[in-house]
Amino acid sequence: IVNMYVSKCQYWNEKQFVWSSDGCEVGSSTTLKSTECLCTHLTTFGSDFYVPPNTIDFSTVFSKFKTLHENAAVFSTVLIIFGLYIIAAVWARRKDRQDLIKWTAAP
């Protein structure tokens, strides 16, 4: 299993009222569950933790459309959602036309 994360040590700068990382660095004992902060000063400090999202490889995504007979439930769901979207768009357009007629007619 490969875990990718970014960790950062910061302290509260009482003069500027912001979190700053000057004089702090992440230690080598940092893990996915804890961060080791090595700071050159004694202040209130903490760590910032960021886990980047997984990337999508579109070359493999589109190649899986060749096996739609194995993914019938997913394909059906996508078609139903697309169909509902089209129906909603047609309904909204009709309502827009009715509003246009209603608001352009002057007594």
Q: What backbone torsions phi and psi does residue 29 show, to the nearest 5 degrees?
A: -85, 10
Q: Global pTM?
A: 0.41
pLDDT digits (tens, 9 = 90+) for 8-66: 888 888 888 888 888 888 888 888 788 888 888 887 777 777 777 777 777 777 777 77
**Residue 46 burial class via C-beta count within 10 angstroms: exposed 0-12, middle 13-18, buried 19 and up:** middle
21 contacts 15 by C-beta, under 8 angstroms = no
Please name every residue paired with 49 in a beta bridge, in sequence order, or none if there are none: 7
Measured in residues, the chain has a length of 107
Residue of 32, 34, 37 whose CA lies nearest to 8: 37
Q: What local confidence, expressed as pLDDT, does residue 14 receive? A: 84
Please name every residue paired with 19 in a beta bridge, in sequence order, or none if there are none: 12
Please name every residue paired with 50 in a beta bridge, in sequence order, or none if there are none: 6
Element (H, E) at 49: strand 45-50
Question: Position 25: which residue type?
Answer: E
Q: What local confidence, expressed as pLDDT, does residue 72 receive? A: 81
Taking CA atoms, 34 is separated from 2, 37, 44, 47, 107, in Å, by 17, 10, 17, 9, 72
